Amino acid sequence: MRKISRREFIQLISKTAGAAALLQLLSACGINPAATLVTPTYSPFVPGGPQVNNLGAIAGAVVPTGTLAPVEPAAATDLPLTETALPAAEPAYLAVARGSDDPEALVRGALDAIGGLGRFVPAGANVLIKPNICAADHDYTLAVTTNPWVVGALVKMCYEAGAARVKVYDYPFSGSSENAYASSGIAEQVAAAGGEMEYVVFGKFRTANLPNAQSLGSAAFYGEVIDADVVINVPIAKHHGTTGLTLGMKNMMGVISDRGAIHAGNMSQRIADLADYIRPELTVIDAVRIRVADGPAGWSPSDVRQINTVIASADIVAADAYATRLFDWTDPNRLGYVKNGAERGLGRSDLENLKIAEITLG
């Protein structure tokens, strides 16, 4: 029987209809199909199973474990074989970037792992960034206010994503917004990135009822926060003398006029009430420096740890739950508002079941 070239073999396959015809063709050529082709076996993804926590794995991918029999090298005139591309890795549920002393690199690394900022900021959006700028008499080195370069990076990236306008706002508990914005270093970095500082105007607070609240029935919210298309929550991770820690959910206290109302009742429930009413599209936790004691507004540099870390997730509860690990907490539900938020379905604290990307930058 005449031998056929690899080119002819491929051309014959392309003209052959169905697997039965292919087997007939192989037999006619004196080839034992069963000995030549090994059927791949597959390990399917099981919904609800544990997620991987690294960037290399592909959640839900079907991975072949079989192999093809050896094939002789093709002649130069033969048609090339086409490789089938693997599906792109799905974004992580939560990402942690660490290791670089460049805050912008940390922000970009974490956001890239969860799908990029463009996933949260549509073209033409009006964006409100809410950092922690609580005190007018502290600079960023004391780990009381959010790192200014983290905020500046987010402003820059919002414009890269196509945002029409980016404002940065907080309602300080110490000093005026003008002084707090300046002393924190945030105003300078926001201006450099092309953003706008939203200075507190008390006439912009608007009272709203909280229909799902467990403790806080109503509150006066800052109008710019309510009206924004996208809210990005950017707390600093630090110790707090009453709640234990100040993280993403507690950072939302700066969007209401009466902060004392949160302290007047069950704080964990009332913080979760705020997070239920104003749900940020994205939470980015600044842990470039963290305050491990004497928070929220301590003075001693000895209570500050520089750990060059940024956490990012669309889930504010999960972001806070992970941030408790920075303080060596073994159970995130020890933080009352995390426990309450998870129980109410505002997010997840079961970190072991989430796809978490851990990124170390050079």
Give the chain's residues under pLDDT 50.
1-83
Backbone angles phi, psi at 323, to 5 degrees: -60, -25
Quote the tokens at residue 183: 């002393």
| Cα–Cα dist 18/250, whole Å | 62
Instruction: Decide if 29 contacts 4 (C-beta within 8 A).
Output: yes
- For residue 84, the model assigns a pLDDT of 55
What tens digit of pLDDT does each residue of 281-328 get?
A: 999 999 999 999 999 999 999 999 999 999 999 999 999 999 999 999
Domains assigned to the chain: 94-360 (3.40.50.11440)
Q: How many Å is the Cα radius of gyration of the chain?
A: 27
Please report, in angstroms and rounded to a whole number, the separation of the first and last CA atoms in the chain. Answer: 62
How far, rounded to the nearest angstrom, does the alpha carbon of residue 20 sit from its chain's CA centroid?
A: 50
Per-residue burial over 348-357, b = 16 or more CB atoms within 10 Å of its CB, e = otherwise: bbebeebbbb
DSSP string, 219-234: EEEEHHHHH-SEEEEE
- Asked whether the beta carbons of 184 and 152 are under 8 A apart, the reply is no
Q: What is the tens place of the pLDDT at every residue in 30-82?
A: 444 443 333 333 233 233 333 333 333 333 333 333 333 333 444 444 444 44
Q: Output the average pLDDT for the chain.
A: 83
- Say how far apart CA 109 and CA 312 lie, in whole Å: 10
Q: What is the pLDDT at residue 22?
A: 40
State residue 324's pLDDT score. Answer: 98
Backbone angles phi, psi at 52, to 5 degrees: -85, 160
Rounded to whole angstroms, the Cα distance separating 277 from 215 reads: 13
- Which pLDDT score is estimated for 87? 66
> Nearest to residue 122, comparing CAs of 168, 183, 81, 163?
163
